[in-house]
C-alpha cells in the first residue's frame, strides 16, 4: 500500500467524494479513507434538491428512485396547506448508500485511491505536511480534507473551534401497502406543527416511504412520540416493516477558521447543513468542491490554500447560512408569527423557499437582515397588542 499522497480525504460521503473527484480530475494524488464497509448506509431522507443537483460533479440519474415535481407544505394546527410545482424536480429521491457510492466510484475511476474499513484515529501536523494514523498504519499527505461528517473528530484533533449546533433527527424507512405508497408518491411532503420546534417529512422512494422528523431543540423522547403521531396522520396503519434510524444534523456552522494546520473541514464536519431545512447534501458537495479548488489554486502551498479556502467560503456558503439562520429563527422560535405569516402570505413564502431549494434564488435574495426580522417581529407584536385591547 502507498503511504504518501498529495491529499488525504477522511470520509466518503458527498463532501469527501466530491473533493476527491475534483482533485483526481486535476491529476492530484488523492486517497479517500473511509471507516465503513462500502457502500455504507447513511441515515438520511435521501432528498436531493435542485440546489444540490447544480453541484453534482457527475450524472447520478441511475441512483434516483423517484422525482418529485410537487412539494406540499402543511401547517397542521392551522389547517393550512400549500402546494408548489416546478417543471424540473424540486426533490429527487435516492438511497444514500447508492448515491454516495456513485460519487465515490466516479472519483475512483478518475484516479482517487479508496481505502475502506480504514478509520482515521489521529492527525498530526508537522510543518510541511500531515501524518494520519489508522489501523492500517500511518499515511502522510501535504493536506487533509476532513469530510468525516457530523460526529467526525478530525477537526477537533487539529484544535479547530467548534460552535456547531447538532440537532437530533429520526428517519424511518417504512414499507406500506401499494395503495398508500401510490397515494404518497411523486410529492415531497413537509408538515409543520407536528412537534413544537421542528417539522416532519414524507419522502416517497421506489418501494417504501422515508418518514422523518427533526427538532431544533434536543429532545429525543419528543421526536419518537412525534414520528408515531405522524405515521398515524399519514394513514400508515398497515405498515409491514419499519427500519428505525436516528442521527444528528449540524444546523449552525463552526466558528471558523475552516482550515488549520493543513486540514480543511467540509460538509457536516464544518456544520454546513441548511439551518432552515436540515438539508445538507448541497453544501457538502459545494464545500468539497471549494476545498479541492482552493488546494489547486494554492498549488498545495499552505498560505495560498488557506487564503483561497477562507475567501471562497466567506463569499458563498457562510453568508447564505447566516441568512438561513435568521429565517430558521422566525420559523421555529415564533410559531404564532409563523402561523400569522403563512395565513397571509403562505403561498408566496412557499414559492420563495421552493426557489431556494431549486437553486434559483438564495436565502440572501429574500433580504432577511436582523433589521428586517426585527421590523417584522415588532409589527406582529404591535398587532397582537392592538387586537388584545381592541
Ligand X SMILES: Cc1cc2nc3c(=O)[nH]c(=O)nc-3n(C[C@H](O)[C@H](O)[C@H](O)COP(=O)(O)OP(=O)(O)OC[C@H]3O[C@@H](n4cnc5c(N)ncnc54)[C@H](O)[C@@H]3O)c2cc1C
Please report, as ranges, the residues that interact with ligand X according to CB under 6 A.
10-16, 33-36, 40, 42-47, 52, 119-120, 147-149, 152, 169, 171, 212, 247, 249, 267-269, 273, 278-281, 284
In whole angstroms, the minimum distance from the beta carbon of 245 to ligand X comes to 7
**Using an 8 Å Cβ cutoff, are 348 and 342 in contact?**
no
Collapsing DSSP to helix, strand or coil, 378 comes out as: helix
Beta carbon nearer to ligand X, 33 or 216 = 33
Cell, residue 118: 480504514
In whole angstroms, the minimum distance from the beta carbon of 9 to ligand X comes to 9
Beta carbon nearer to ligand X, 28 or 146 = 146
Q: Taking the CB of residue 144, how many other CB atoms lie within 10 A of it?
A: 29
3-state helix, strand, coil in the chain (%, to 5): 40, 25, 30
CA-CA distance, 50 to 92, in Å (whole number)?
A: 8
Beta carbon nearer to ligand X, 82 or 190 = 190
Beta carbon nearer to ligand X, 99 or 342 = 99
Residue (of 270, 230, 266) closest to 253 by Cα position: 270
In whole angstroms, the minimum distance from the beta carbon of 138 to ligand X comes to 14
The answer for 359, left when phi > 0, alpha when psi is -120 to 50, beta otherwise, is left
Beta carbon nearer to ligand X, 89 or 341 = 89
Q: State the SS3 of 24-74.
A: HHCCCCEEEECCCCCCCCCCCCCEEEHHHHCCCCCCCHHHEEEEECEEEEE
User: What radius of gyration do the chain's Cα atoms show?
Assistant: 21
In whole angstroms, the minimum distance from the beta carbon of 33 to ligand X comes to 5
Beta carbon nearer to ligand X, 94 or 341 = 94
CA-CA distance, 125 to 306, in Å (whole number)?
A: 15
The closest residue (CB) to ligand X is 280
Cell, residue 174: 417504512
In whole angstroms, the minimum distance from the beta carbon of 113 to ligand X comes to 14
> Which residues, at least 6 apart from 182, have a Cβ–Cβ distance to it below 8 Å?
none
In whole angstroms, the minimum distance from the beta carbon of 130 to ligand X comes to 14
Beta carbon nearer to ligand X, 35 or 254 = 35
Beta carbon nearer to ligand X, 38 or 377 = 38
In whole angstroms, the minimum distance from the beta carbon of 191 to ligand X comes to 15
In whole angstroms, the minimum distance from the beta carbon of 315 to ligand X comes to 20
CA-CA distance, 89 to 227, in Å (whole number)?
A: 26
Amino acid at each position: 500500500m502507498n503511504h504518501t499522497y498529495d491529499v488525504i480525504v477522511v470520509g466518503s460521503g458527498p463532501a469527501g467524494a466530491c473533493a476527491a473527484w475534483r482533485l483526481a480530475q486535476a491529476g492530484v494524488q488523492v486517497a479517500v479513507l473511509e471507516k465503513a464497509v462500502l457502500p455504507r448506509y447513511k441515515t438520511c431522507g435521501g432528498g436531493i434538491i435542485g440546489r444540490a443537483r447544480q453541484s453534482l460533479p457527475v450524472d447520478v440519474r441511475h441512483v434516483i428512485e423517484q422525482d418529485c415535481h410537487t412539494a406540499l407544505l402543511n401547517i397542521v394546527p392551522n389547517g393550512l396547506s400549500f402546494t408548489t410545482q416546478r417543471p424540473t424536480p424540486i426533490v429527487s429521491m435516492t438511497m444514500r448508500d447508492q448515491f454516495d457510492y456513485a460519487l465515490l466510484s466516479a472519483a475512483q475511476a478518475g484516479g482517487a485511491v479508496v481505502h475502506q474499513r480504514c478509520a482515521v484515529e489521529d492527525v498530526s501536523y508537522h510543518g510541511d505536511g500531515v501524518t494520519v494514523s489508522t489501523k492500517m498504519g500511518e499515511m502522510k499527505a501535504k493536506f487533509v480534507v476532513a469530510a468525516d461528517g457530523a460526529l467526525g473528530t478530525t477537526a477537533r484533533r487539529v484544535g479547530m473551534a467548534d460552535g456547531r449546533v447538532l440537532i437530533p433527527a429520526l428517519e424511518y424507512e417504512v414499507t406500506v401497502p401499494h395503495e398508500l405508497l401510490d397515494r404518497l408518491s411523486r410529492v415531497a411532503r413537509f408538515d409543520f406543527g407536528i412537534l413544537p420546534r421542528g417539522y416532519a417529512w414524507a419522502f416517497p422512494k421506489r418501494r417504501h416511504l422515508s418518514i422523518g422528523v427533526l427538532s431544533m431543540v434536543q429532545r429525543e423522547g419528543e421526536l419518537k412520540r412525534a414520528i408515531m403521531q405522524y405515521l398515524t396522520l399519514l394513514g400508515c396503519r398497515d405498515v409491514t416493516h419499519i427500519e428505525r434510524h436516528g442521527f444528528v444534523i449540524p444546523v449552525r456552522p463552526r466558528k471558523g477558521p475552516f482550515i488549520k494546520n493543513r486540514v480543511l473541514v467540509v460538509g457536516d464536519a464544518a456544520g454546513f447543513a441548511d439551518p432552515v431545512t436540515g438539508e445538507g447534501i448541497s453544501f457538502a458537495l459545494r464545500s468539497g468542491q471549494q476545498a479541492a479548488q482552493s488546494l489547486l489554486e494554492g498549488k498545495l502551498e499552505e498560505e495560498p490554500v488557506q487564503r483561497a479556502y477562507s475567501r471562497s467560503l466567506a463569499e458563498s456558503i457562510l453568508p447564505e447560512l447566516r441568512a438561513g439562520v435568521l429565517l430558521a429563527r422566525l420559523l421555529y422560535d415564533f410559531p404564532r408569527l409563523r402561523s400569522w405569516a403563512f395565513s397571509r402570505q403562505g403561498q408566496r413564502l412557499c414559492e420563495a423557499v421552493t426557489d431556494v431549494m431549486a437553486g434559483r434564488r438564495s436565502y440572501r435574495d429574500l433580504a432577511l437582515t436582523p433589521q428586517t426580522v426585527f421590523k417584522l417581529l415588532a409589527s406582529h407584536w404591535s398587532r397582537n397588542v392592538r387586537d388584545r385591547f381592541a
